[in-house]
Amino acid sequence: MAETAEEETPIVINEEDEEKIIQYYSSFHLILLVGDGDFSFSLCLANSFGSASNIVASSLQSHEEVIKMYKNGKSNLEKLKALGGTVLHGVDATKMQHHSDLRNRKFDRIIYNFPHAGFHGSEENNHLIQMHKNLVGRFFGSAKKMLRVDGQIHVTHKISPPYDLWDLVGLGSRNSLICIDCADFKIENYPGYNNKRGSGSKCDEPFHLGECNTFKFIFNPSRKNVPRTKQKKRYLQAPSQSFQNVPNSISPPIYSHHPAYVSDMIHAGLPARYDPTSEFFRIFKPHISYIQETFGRVDVDVELSVRRAIHHGALMFRDEARRPPEDYLAILEEFHCWSRSRITRLQQELQDLDRRVFERQGMGCYP
Ligand SMILES: C[S@@+](CC[C@H](N)C(=O)[O-])C[C@H]1O[C@@H](n2cnc3c(N)ncnc32)[C@H](O)[C@@H]1O
């Protein structure tokens, strides 16, 4: 008896749709590289992704200058372009949002490895340190305007003295950027990358790396650089004791002039907390906005986003105030309270929807 072979539907996997990852960078990210020396870092990412179509690699120098300065400059640029990358020259990190090819563009990752204002004497010289700090601070000021929602700015930097005096976390903070992570940087994790001095007669030579970190920043527009004493005072003026007993079922009042997350807070019995200067709001607003913006999207990992938000909050506390952990626990209570209230409100909305479908179908009274 002839067997009937079951016909299998062939599964076609488009290789281009598969996510490729190298360290913190994904082929699904739109990535801008700034001050990229001989472009070997961009090329390393592109090689890992198998494509550079998601990469915009840039240098301050012109095309001719890059080729003159770096022995591999020409071939790196050619390979990047062959992989579909965009290469831009004359991009000044301190005002790149005005560059004709970058205006109105937003990125998931903006990377500047080893920013440096040039070799003008001892790295311990205060004036030179200030030059480096100006470069990084102004880079932050420009980059933060070019981030997508949930985007990050990454700066890799030496952390031993005198480089620790640059105070990257403080420079970020002055630009409403929160440092969410300082990860060990190991050059061997980036095959093909050659770190370059980038200026002077030895521009094509590497520099000693030693201990380095990749500092990762996110933009928090509500985060102003407020002196610590004021932050403390503001917190004391808005105590949080009354937010522990949240009723589990409350009819949501209609506050259509507020953004939805404010309704969630009011729903949680937190009317007094709609204070844009409150600690809770200041710390968790980016997360709350993100949850609102991505609501219902299947490609969003809410659990990860919550974990990140809590982690960011803890780092903010540690970095900007060095306050006792109990202060942060109080804020977390509010966060928990807001989450519960939001879940309750969403459950009610679902039930309402269910009821309307039930009644419209003439199924009698909703049980
Ligand atoms: C120490 S090198 C590092 C180069 C490269 N990122 C690397 O990791 O090999 C510093 C780089 O910063 C660049 N740079 C300095 N000032 C800049 C600016 N205002 N805008 C863009 N790049 C700048 C230099 O051209 C140089 O390539």
Q: Report the percentage of the chain scoring pLDDT > 90.
A: 51
162/242 same-domain check: no
Q: What CATH number is associated with residue 124?
A: 3.40.50.150
165/119 same-domain check: yes
Tokens of 157: 């930097």
Q: Which of 199, 219, 239 is where one domain is finished?
A: 219
The best mutation among 40, 116, 202 to test binding of ligand 1, ranked by most ligand atoms within 8 Å of the C-beta, falls on 116
Q: Which of 179, 197, 219 is where one domain is finished?
A: 219
Can you give the pLDDT at residue 289? 74
143/241 same-domain check: no
Query: 266, 285 in Cβ contact below 8 A?
Result: no
Whether 113 is in the pocket of ligand 1, judged by its Cβ within 6 Å, is yes
End-to-end CA distance of the chain, in Å?
57
139 found inside a domain: yes
Whether 94 is in the pocket of ligand 1, judged by its Cβ within 6 Å, is yes
Query: 252, 263 in Cβ contact below 8 A?
Result: yes
Specify the number of domains making up the chain.
2
193/275 same-domain check: no
Can you give the pLDDT at residue 274? 46
Residue 60 banded pLDDT, cuts 50, 70, 90: very high
Average pLDDT, the chain: 80
58/190 same-domain check: yes
Q: Which of 179, 194, 219 is where one domain is finished?
A: 219
Angle at 222 between CA 99 and CA 251, to 5 degrees: 130
Can you give the pLDDT at residue 266? 58
Whether 36 is in the pocket of ligand 1, judged by its Cβ within 6 Å, is yes
Report the nearest atom of ligand 1 relative to the CA of 206. Answer: 9
pLDDT of residue 40 exceeding 50: yes
pLDDT of residue 184 exceeding 60: yes
177/234 same-domain check: no
Amino acid type, 243 = F
> For residue 162, is the peptide bond before it cis, meaning its omega torsion is within 30 degrees of 0?
yes
47/117 same-domain check: yes
- What's the mean pLDDT in 36-57? 97
Residue 288 banded pLDDT, cuts 50, 70, 90: confident
Whether 92 is in the pocket of ligand 1, judged by its Cβ within 6 Å, is yes
Query: In angstroms, what is the span from residue 200 Cα to ligand 1's centroid?
Result: 12
Can you give the pLDDT at residue 63? 98
Report the nearest atom of ligand 1 relative to the CA of 138. Answer: 19
Which residue has 């506050």 as its token pair? 255
Report the nearest atom of ligand 1 relative to the CA of 112. Answer: 6
Whether 137 is in the pocket of ligand 1, judged by its Cβ within 6 Å, is no
Candidates 194, 216, 220; CA nearest to 205 is 194
Query: In angstroms, what is the span from residue 198 Cα to ligand 1's centroid?
Result: 6
Protein residue with least CA distance to atom 15, ligand 1: 117
Report the nearest atom of ligand 1 relative to the CA of 40. Answer: 9
Task: Collect all residues with Cβ–Cβ distance below 8 Å to 92 and sequence separation of at least 6.
Answer: 60, 99
305/212 same-domain check: no
Residue 43 banded pLDDT, cuts 50, 70, 90: very high
Report the nearest atom of ligand 1 relative to the CA of 197. Answer: 1
> Which of 41-50, 58-67, 248-257, 346-355 bottoms out in mean pLDDT, i.e. has the lowest?
248-257
- What's the mean pLDDT in 47-69? 97
9 found inside a domain: no
291 found inside a domain: yes
Can you give the pLDDT at residue 330? 77
202 found inside a domain: yes
367 found inside a domain: no
pLDDT of residue 125 exceeding 90: yes
Task: Express each pLDDT in 315-360 by its tens digit.
Answer: 777 776 667 777 788 778 778 777 777 777 777 778 777 777 777 7
Between strands 25-26 and 31-34, the pairing is: unpaired
Query: In angstroms, what is the span from residue 37 Cα to ligand 1's centroid?
Result: 6
Query: In angstroms, what is the span from residue 78 Cα to ligand 1's centroid?
Result: 20
Query: 76, 66 in Cβ contact below 8 A?
Result: no
Task: Express each pLDDT in 93-122 by its tens digit.
Answer: 999 999 999 998 999 999 999 999 999 889
39/155 same-domain check: yes
138/277 same-domain check: no
Whether 89 is in the pocket of ligand 1, judged by its Cβ within 6 Å, is no
For 152, left (φ over 0), alpha (ψ -120 to 50), or beta?
A: beta
Domain that residue 327 falls in: 228-360
Can you give the pLDDT at residue 291? 77
77 found inside a domain: yes
Task: Express each pLDDT in 202-238 by its tens digit.
Answer: 999 999 999 999 999 999 876 555 443 333 333 222 2
The best mutation among 114, 134, 156, 213 to test binding of ligand 1, ranked by most ligand atoms within 8 Å of the C-beta, falls on 114
245/313 same-domain check: yes
Q: Which of 125-134, 276-285, 296-305 has the highest mean pLDDT?
A: 125-134
